[in-house]
Amino acid sequence: MKKILVLCSVLGLAACGAPEMAVSKRQNPYYGTAVIFIQGQGEEFAVKSIKVHGSCNLTYNVVNSVEGLGKLSGELPEREYYINKCKYSQVRKITVITNKGSSDFTFSN
């Protein structure tokens, strides 16, 4: 599991007010694609989307048709998101957009 750093961008200081979370990236052993694990730390929040930057640019929208899908809290502290269109090595930076702000994360592959 790769540990990452939370970065508050100079231009996006609103990201500093986003909920606390730990994010890690793992490789899907069957397909070689990326799996993003997000663990809430503290207040409850809902993940709205994950934007992947780099050679595999895409936005993964979390489907909210089922109540609570994407919500992280003390009862459900971690969720996994399968980014099936991006190989593990292509995911180097992501932005996690929540109902309370957004945060950037970088990975060292």
Digit-coded pLDDT (tens) for 56-79 = 888 888 755 344 456 666 556 788
44 — pLDDT class (breaks 50, 70, 90): confident
pLDDT mean across residues, the chain: 77
90 — pLDDT class (breaks 50, 70, 90): very high
The separation between CA 25 and the C-alpha centre of its own chain, rounded to angstroms, equals: 9
Q: What letter would DSSP give residue 109?
A: -
pTM, entire model: 0.74
Q: What DSSP element (H or E) covers 60? A: strand 58-61
